[in-house]
Amino acid sequence: MEWLNYHHLLYFWLVVREGGIAQAAVKLRLAHPTVSGQVHALEDALGERLLVKQGRRLVLTEMGTVVFRYAEDIFALGNELLDTVKGRPTGQPLRLVVGIDDVVPKVVARRLLEPALQLGTPVRLVCREDKTERLLAELAAHELDVVLTDAPLATGSAVRAFNHLLGETDVSVFGTAALAKAHRRGFPRSLDGAPLLLPTPQTALRRSIEAWLDGLGVRPRIIGEFDDSALLKAFAQDGVGLFFAPTAVRDVVRRQYEGLQVVGRVPELTERYYAISIERKLRHPAVVAISRSARSDLFAQP
């Protein structure tokens, strides 16, 4: 039976937390070679390098990052156990590490995550925004609890994970009062020649918008293309152009970006949002809360 030496793990954990072997040795009141030897013993037992020298510093390898995260959870749980046995309040928040695909609008991400912060248990939320491929790699390495995205994991993906549909919504066009007044009548054909702010071409929404406009034979003036949805809305708030956003968050958009109005609704365009996890059935309480609220509230048919 394989068994992990938790003393070795503790020394490794302290080396990372304290910023080096010398600092950890002082904390542990042990000699430098003793601490170094314990870390090497852990590496030998695991068959993986956990720390490598980079100049005068020790930095975590990819596997070292995974092991350190497990160590954080293990020793936090140990402290919680002691507090529970001694009748002290644990005060230990539930940790939720979420990867957010950078094509997901900020207002949608914020609304999706809101239920996680409303649990009876305190939650420490960690958000990482990146491209889907990088987030899925972190999910596979157990560095993330869940990934929020606007597209399901493709069939045949190298990452073994599962799609959980959170819901779907159609899309609306927004703009300042002046632009709304100019283009609301006769919508959507009134978009012909209208100034438009769009997401970049690699997004599913951009491709859907272009196909829809082509089908109508409408040719707006594309003023700008944006990776960052919040920056796009900031330009729209200044009256630079119209933009598309999920109807499910229309009230949030109007409240957060003062002066913006709905020009028209586009039932033909649908946005779907997914939670991707390594579990077939969601178990993390905060992720379960996100999924339930999305289906019953955010993406409920208006």
The CATH number of the structural domain formed by 6-85 is 1.10.10.10
pLDDT in tens, 43-66: 999 999 999 988 878 889 999 899
Q: Is the pLDDT of residue 203 over 80?
A: yes
Could you tell me what percent of the chain has a pLDDT over 90?
A: 56
Q: For Cα atoms 29, 32, 36, give the angle at the middle one, nearest 5 degrees.
A: 115
Instruction: Label residue 24 exposed, middle or buried (CB < 10 Å: 0-12, 13-18, 19+).
Output: buried
pLDDT surpasses 60 at 159: yes
Q: Is the pTM of this model over 0.95?
A: no
Whether domain 168-270 has CATH 3.90.1560.10: no
The residue ranking higher by pLDDT, 244 or 153, is 244
Q: Which segments of the chain belong to CATH 3.40.190.10?
A: 94-167+273-298, 168-270
Res 179 pLDDT > 90: yes
H helix and E strand count, the chain: 11, 10
Q: Is residue 276 pLDDT above 60, yes or no?
A: yes
Residue 84, pLDDT score:
58
* CATH number belonging to the domain at 94-167+273-298, selected among 3.40.190.10, 2.60.40.10, 1.10.287.70, 3.10.20.340: 3.40.190.10
Contacts of 84-91 spanning 24+ positions with Cβ under 8 A: 91/122
